[in-house]
Chain A
Amino acid sequence: MTEVFIYDTLRTPFGKGNRDSALFEVRPIDLLSKCLKALQKRNQLDTKAVADLIIGCVIPTDGQADNIAKTALLHANWSSSIPGIQINRFQTSGLAAVGLAAAKIKAGWENLAVAGGIESMSRIHRKNNRGAISSDPDIMNKIGSIPSGVAADLIATMENFSKEQLDNYAFKSIQKAITAHQKNYFSKSVIPIYDQNKIPILVQDETINTAITLEEITEQTPIFPKSQRFGFDAIALRKYPLIEQITPLHSEKNIAQPADNAALVLVGNAEQSKILGLKARAKIVAVKTISTELTITHKGGIEAAKKTLAAAKLKPKDIDLWYINESFAAPALLFQKTFKIADKRLNPCGGNIAFGDALGANGAILLGMLIDELERQQLKRGLIALSAEGGIGKSMIIEIV
């Protein structure tokens, strides 16, 4: 059976996903093209050998619309033989792109592909997405879709998590990121963004709040206080009637803020690496995409991880490092509790609460962080798991080679 290898991963620095972002002036298409150019350069890549570019993007409108993968290939002067595709599996999209590329290679249809994601949230706001799941009153009430913040509070309530626990989790995530930053752990993957005159625009992550104190986190008031919930609680309790009422616990500081980023992963089979002289860094062991109940939404990652472990015939203790998306603290804490993971093994360089979340790119970013950190700590096996809207979950296990 063909094995699928990861040769390289890279990403842009994290920009704040608002008008204050250093990347606000940069077009989404530029973020992605600059990644392509960097990937080509550092791997001395003959782009004709690349069969496809698969790009995850959660808000594919405006400057990210019209198959941004194909447009970026053209803009980066890659071979015109590459078709390019943009996909959306909500917050798992970046990892879903890697999974899809891997599947094509595993099937033997293709030898080498690039996958990843893009989200310029400073330019293109979440509100631009007005799909039926979140804005058609008929569908919303029929299926019971609620904002993810209320779903996160629902999990916190069901698990009896205190605000203190959530805040501590958030504080730890940021501390880990600060340390990783100071020690330059991200240098392998992050490519600085320059303008057309080679003047730097953003060279490293600007989103990590290095000065934050635990007090600053704890004094934050909830983002979804009862007065702001309209009827979302009632929708949630229709499915979870054992809960009396949902306690608002998540605040601005124990959730991930929107961010700008683009990330790429180069994947292929063993044969191709020989021809092109590429050195494999990791191998994909197992991948699973699943979906759980919609309303609670953040449990997809847990279920996906369970299934992936089972498919790889592994136990949680066999995993050296874990990477998960941290949209909200409670689901992350629940993930940690479910698999009994030690703090230092989960998101060891910090997570989205520290960096921000660039939706469509996030899966590819976290995969890169995981590989970098496994290599740095000279460990072998890592698992990445993501939860997304609609109850979707995706997980992947990799091994350093």
Chain B
Amino acid sequence: MIKYKKDTENIVTLTLDMGQRHENVVNHQMYQYFKPVLTHLQKEKAKGTLKGIILTSGKKNFLEGGELEYLHTSIDPKEIYKHSLSLNKFFRALEHPGVPVVAAINGSALGTGFEFALACHHRIVVDDSKIRLGHPEVTVGLMPGNGGITRLLWLLGLEKAYTVLTNGKKYRPQEALKVGIIDSIAPNQKSMMEQAKQWLLSNNEGRRPWDRVDGKIPGGTGNDPKVAQVIQKLAAQLSRETYNNYPAPQAILNTLVEGSKVDFDTATTIESRYFTELALRPETRNMINTFWYDYNAIKKGINRPKGFGKFRAKQVGVIGAGRMGSGITFNCIKKGLKVVLKDVSKPIAELGKQYAKDNLVALVAQGTISAEEQTTLYNNITTSAKPEDFENCDLVIEAVYENEMVKAKALKDAEQHIDEYAIFATNTLSIPITKLAEAAYRPENYVGLHFFYPVEKVPLVEIVRGKKTSDETIARAFDFVRTMGKIPIVVKDDWGFYVARVQNTYILEGITLLQEGYPPALIENLGLQAGMPKGALAFADDLSLKMVLKYENQAAAHYGSQYVPHPAVATLKRMVEDLDRTGKFKQAGFYEYTQEGKYLWQKLGQYFPITQADYLHENIKERMLFAQVIEAIWCMQEKVISSVPEANLGSIYGWGFPAFTGGVFQYVNSYGLNNFIEKCEQFKKNYGPRFRVPRILKQMKKEGKIFA
């Protein structure tokens, strides 16, 4: 488990190697294993035969945090707190005896694993761009809780520590050095060990800044007037970004501020208390459920057809150098794929190449990639105006104008030049795949890949299965999306697929509220407070009111005589047909667009007078969320989507359903199925049949099930 080696210069190397596992995992039991080693080291120190310690790993990674599974099931605050304290104690024992310890980091160190590294006096990392370092805990609603926050506070100062702890970023070695969470980088393993030894031989200081009499937090404590102003600003920014829906970044800020005003050990106690509170919050549970368990389920292929070997695309063809095509191109080359980017002329295709270049330059600037990598990646793009150049592509993605004829032509042009194993994918948002596939020679190889704008930022892709799309094509599309580093969800070829269809219900509910006589500002503000990224009316404008209406018309066509008209349709028609206000594109929708920004259209009140007197905020917020959740359940019932993890992650990444809820289905779990059904019935009575309870939900109630 821990290999002990002492050299002639009294330097001890401890190599972590957790026998059975693939990875070294740190958790609250670690202290037990380390106790005898520490005792022995203390004896050596007393004898004066210990110069320093090098801590390194015998595995591919350095250390991973391993507490999530434990935390997700524990319910006793006393126990969580006790475990946090015991890890604290261990880290203190490691850094406190006055013998310098170097962390020689030869693999990823994340979460609690990085806290371990922070508890060492010096951190050296091998320069390997696969290595990831830092504290991504906030992305699952958590925070470091074993002194990690307090140590970063002392190493970076309050403001910088706050950024590193709340951006959820996993840093590459070069980035980590730049941001200041590691001390140096070594070109390779051997050099790292030499550097570590050199550092120990030239440094006798075994005390961390917080254990020194003259130690100071860089920039000052929360009692410093300048820092106090920064805190005020950070608190306000946080409030704007989270609407107080996310307890983790708030707890991190609180820990930093309170911790800055007391001594180190008191600060870590405060940290442990906040950590314990956070671990038991429902938001954290929801986020662990979705961003850890659901995410892993998709990664493992819950939705990938079985029995097909892994598809490794090497060269990708992209048709169309517009914003989607350019984004897809950039994303592909970033992941090491070769791209043939085609448009009607080479100069136009070059525009897409330029887009990739600009983004690569930005990556170099922030230290994500090196200048050499930039050149290599950039050279992976070939621009072209001829479909013949797709000859060696394993997959061609068409991202041209949203028009059936144009898409059919692009398909025909390209398909004759690619081999029978290659996939042809279309990036459409509203045209049925099955219909588009009619123009294909090989409809079984034809699939929808619905990327979202901006491609390189949104981590979700809808794989749309046409009627004739083969399982093998789906499996390959899945593997390709994974290669792009994205989360694939497989959806049925119905109107709007999954994302656009459910998103539309949020918009429609907002418009219904307007029609019912609620003030537009209230609708928008409560949407944001509920956790949505935009107000419903702003969403409508961005998408265009015509598109909102188009989706609803497609729903009407789909359900035929079963269709119950949505109350929002009348308002939509009025806006589009009578008032000619179709949205942002036309610079006129629910909003007015000016140079200084957008404002709600002042005449809205004239056409949709405010008649409501009571504003039940919670009720309105729930209406807007319930509308989406119920539609997602219909999607499940109609097999538009087939698994809970896809529905949850799809809702968060696809249209911005609030992450703290854990996604549409976790929302029901968290709300309580019976409470949810009861509320639906109440809403149905008050607001209409669109809130009726779908059959599968009733079935689940009968069987006492939850969404899992």
A: residues with CB less than 8 A from B are 125, 127-128, 130, 134-138, 140-142, 146, 229-235, 237-238, 241-245
Contacts and interface: CB of A to CB of B under 8 A. Distances in A.
A243 B522 CA distance: 7
B397 to A, nearest CB: 39
A389 to B, nearest CB: 14
Interface in B212-261: 222-223, 225, 228-229, 231-241, 243-244, 250, 253-254, 257
B427 interface: no
A241 B624 CA distance: 16
Q: Which of A130, A134, A235, A241 has the most CB of B within 10 A?
A: A241
Given A137-B234, A231-B238, A244-B599, A238 B529 contact: yes
B529 A137 contact: no
Contacts of B520: 244
Interface string B575-615: 00000000000000000000000011000000000000001
Contact of B253 (A128, A137, A244): A137
Contacts of B599: 244-245
A216 B374 CA distance: 55
A318 B432 CA distance: 76
A137 B522 CA distance: 26
B617 interface: yes
Contacts of A142: 244
A188 B528 CA distance: 56
A231 B253 CA distance: 15
Contacts of B244: 141-142, 238
B236 A231 contact: yes
Contacts of B238: 137, 141, 231
A241 B525 contact: yes
Contacts of B229: 127
Contact of A141 (B225, B233, B235, B529): B235
B250 A137 contact: yes
B98 interface: no
B521 interface: yes
Nearest to B596: A226
A235 B235 CA distance: 10
Contacts of B529: 238, 241
B254 A137 contact: yes
A242 B228 CA distance: 31
Interface string B446-473: 0000000000000000000000000000
B239 A242 contact: no
B524 A137 contact: no
B232 A241 contact: no
Contacts of B232: 134-135, 140
Given A130-B223, A231-B238, A244 B254 contact: no
Q: Which of B231, B232, B238, B526 has the most CB of A within 10 A?
A: B232
B145 to A, nearest CB: 17
B236 A235 contact: yes
22 contacts: A127-B229, A130-B223, A135-B228, A135-B232, A136-B257, A137-B235, A138-B253, A140-B232, A141-B238, A141-B244, A230-B236, A231-B238, A234-B528, A235-B240, A238-B244, A238-B525, A241-B522, A241-B526, A242-B519, A243-B521, A244-B524, A244-B600
A135 B231 contact: yes
A127 B225 CA distance: 6
Nearest to B240: A231
Contacts, number: 87
Q: Which of A125, A134, A142, A232 has the most CB of B within 10 A?
A: A232
Decide if the interface of chain A is mainly helix, strand, loop or mixed: helix
Decide if the interface of chain B is mainly helix, strand, loop or mixed: helix
Contacts of B243: 234, 238
A238 B525 CA distance: 8
Nearest to B520: A244
Interface of B: 222-223, 225, 228-229, 231-241, 243-244, 250, 253-254, 257, 519-522, 524-526, 528-529, 599-600, 615, 617
Nearest to B233: A230
Contacts of A230: 233, 236-237, 240
A97 to B, nearest CB: 27
A103 B615 CA distance: 42
Q: Which of A125, A135, A245 has the most CB of B within 10 A?
A: A135
Nearest to B529: A238
A122 B160 CA distance: 32
B528 to A, nearest CB: 8
A232 B239 CA distance: 8
Given A137-B238, A146-B236, 19 more contacts: A128-B225, A130-B225, A130-B228, A135-B231, A136-B257, A137-B231, A138-B253, A138-B254, A141-B238, A142-B244, A230-B233, A230-B237, A231-B237, A231-B240, A234-B236, A241-B529, A242-B519, A244-B520, A244-B599
Q: Which of A127, A134, A229, A230 has the most CB of B within 10 A?
A: A230
Nearest to A137: B235
Q: Which of B243, B250, B525 has the most CB of A within 10 A?
A: B525
Q: Which of B239, B250, B254, B521 has the most CB of A within 10 A?
A: B239
A243 to B, nearest CB: 6
A233 B528 CA distance: 13
B525 A237 contact: yes
When A and B form their complex, which 6 residue pairs have the shortest distance between CB atoms, in order from nearest?
Answer: A231-B240, A241-B525, A137-B235, A234-B240, A231-B236, A230-B236
Contacts of B225: 125, 127-128, 130
A106 to B, nearest CB: 40
Contacts of B234: 137
Given A127-B229, A134-B232, A136-B257, A242 B240 contact: no
A238 B233 CA distance: 17
Given A136-B257, A137-B238, A140-B232, A242 B521 contact: yes
A241 B617 contact: yes
Contacts of A241: 521-522, 525-526, 529, 615, 617
Nearest to B535: A244
A138 B521 contact: no
A136 B256 CA distance: 11
B239 to A, nearest CB: 5
A244 B598 CA distance: 11
Contacts of A235: 236, 239-240
Nearest to A144: B239
B159 to A, nearest CB: 12
A140 B520 CA distance: 28
Contacts of A233: 240
Contacts of B257: 136-138
Q: Which of B223, B235, B250 has the most CB of A within 10 A?
A: B235
Q: Which of A128, A232, A234, A238 has the most CB of B within 10 A?
A: A234
A235 B236 CA distance: 7
Contacts of A238: 239, 243-244, 525, 529
B146 to A, nearest CB: 21
A232 B236 contact: yes
Contacts of A243: 521, 525
A315 B130 CA distance: 77
Nearest to A134: B232
A137 B239 CA distance: 10
A141 B240 CA distance: 10
Contacts of A244: 520-521, 524-525, 599-600
A141 B250 contact: yes
Contacts of B600: 244
Contact of B239 (A127, A135, A234): A234
A271 to B, nearest CB: 49
Nearest to B518: A242
Q: Which of A137, A140, A232 has the most CB of B within 10 A?
A: A137
A387 to B, nearest CB: 21
A230 B231 CA distance: 11
Contacts of A125: 225
B593 to A, nearest CB: 14
Nearest to B599: A244
A245 B597 CA distance: 11
B255 to A, nearest CB: 10
